[in-house]
Structure 1
Amino acid sequence: NKLNHGLDLGNNPIGQPTAFCIGVGVNPGAINLDEEIKRFEYKVEAGAQYAITQPVFDTEQLSDFLKRIEHVRIPIVAGIWPLVSYRNAEFLHNEVPGVRVTPSIMERMRVASEKNKEAAREEGLKIARESLLEARDQIQGVQVSAPFGNVRYALEVFDVLDEFGAKRNNKVSVVR
């Protein structure tokens, strides 16, 4: 925040102020949610202008979190991760702190992965699209991850917005 006021960390003038947009991470699935909320509030007080969540698979958990931070008025961007396999779901659930893949999603990915890779990929896209639609009215944006660098796969998640927007006669814009 100081850089945007023309100062370095030691409060020395740097000449022209910068115009950085300051974003922070926030974890709706944190083990100690009270502590996560305190840290988030501190980040906002320090100048955060928006926050991006960990990948969201549990939209109920996201909703509960958003209710607890509704007094904090900065845009929230939900992280969406299109799963590619049951193994991918297991890894995110077990190895990435704060990411909770619900039992029902784990089961869907297990069943799809037993069929073949393409079935798993399609189910992962379907889940990501469902998460996006369930969360979209509560958040100000989404950040879709490209699993294993596959940008085209990530972009396919947004197809549901085109379809959903057309059905509701809403304008939906997707920056690709």
Structure 2
Amino acid sequence: GFELRGVPEFTVGCAMAPVADDAALAREVENLGQKVAAGAQYIVTPPVFDLEAYAKMLESLRQLDVPVIATVFLLKNVGMARYMSIHEPGSCISEDMIRRIRKAPDREAECIRMAGEAAAELKKMVQGVKITTLGWEHRLPDILSSAGL
């Protein structure tokens, strides 16, 4: 290996598990509280598709008094959106979102626009936003542009 010059600095964060209901949220907030007590300095939340539900969930996290980083997940097509809405607990992908992608003249551009809109709104609500593109990193500049970032 190479010798390090200087002293590295690290932060310790934790990931929030997806939650599908209020009882699961209460359990997860308790788990996160233990992680924060053990030294976690921030929380990364699961992908956000329903901003209204996310805002309500954030109220439960405020008591932990650490920064929150939201995850924006780039849906690539209708099939991916449908799969996640069925198989990912708490994903909250609505039929309206799926319909919006399906009816768009350019579905890929619509998915990018939706991710950008989510990032722009989440930026107002939390301390950071993580964008997950799953192999479409080349579209990240388009998402950021769509978000006005």
Instruction: Provide TM-score, normalisation by structure 1.
Output: 0.72
1:130 aligns with 2:122: no
**Which secondary structure does the structure 2 equivalent of 1:78 belong to?**
strand
Equivalent pair of 1:57/1:100 in contact (CA under 8 Å): yes
Equivalent pair of 2:69/2:128 in contact (CA under 8 Å): yes
Say which of 52, 72, 97 aligns to 2:44: 52
1:43 CA displacement: 1.1
For residues 19 and 94 of structure 2, the distance between their equivalents in structure 1, rounded to whole angstroms, comes to 12
For residues 94 and 19 of structure 2, the distance between their equivalents in structure 1, rounded to whole angstroms, comes to 12
TM alignment of 1:3-18, pairs within 5 A: none
Equivalent pair of 2:113/2:146 in contact (CA under 8 Å): no
Amino acid at match of 1:155: P
Say which of 150, 153, 166 aligns to 2:136: 150
Equivalent pair of 2:67/2:127 in contact (CA under 8 Å): yes
Give the share of equivalent positions with the same residue, in percent: 26
Q: Deviations over 1:41-93 (max 9, x none)?
A: 11111111111111111111110011122121111111001211100101222
Amino acid at match of 2:145: D
**Which secondary structure does the structure 2 equivalent of 1:158 belong to?**
helix
Q: Which has the higher contact order (CA 8 A, sep 6+)?
A: 2
Say which of 19, 22, 26 aligns to 2:16: 26
**Which secondary structure does the structure 2 equivalent of 1:101 belong to?**
coil
Instruction: Provide TM-score, normalisation by structure 2.
Output: 0.84
Larger radius of gyration between Structure 1 and Structure 2: 1
1:76 aligns with 2:33: no
**Which secondary structure does the structure 1 equivalent of 2:14 belong to?**
strand
Against the structure 1 CA distance between its residues 45 and 55, is the aligned structure 2 distance closer, same or farther, given a 3 Å change threshold? same
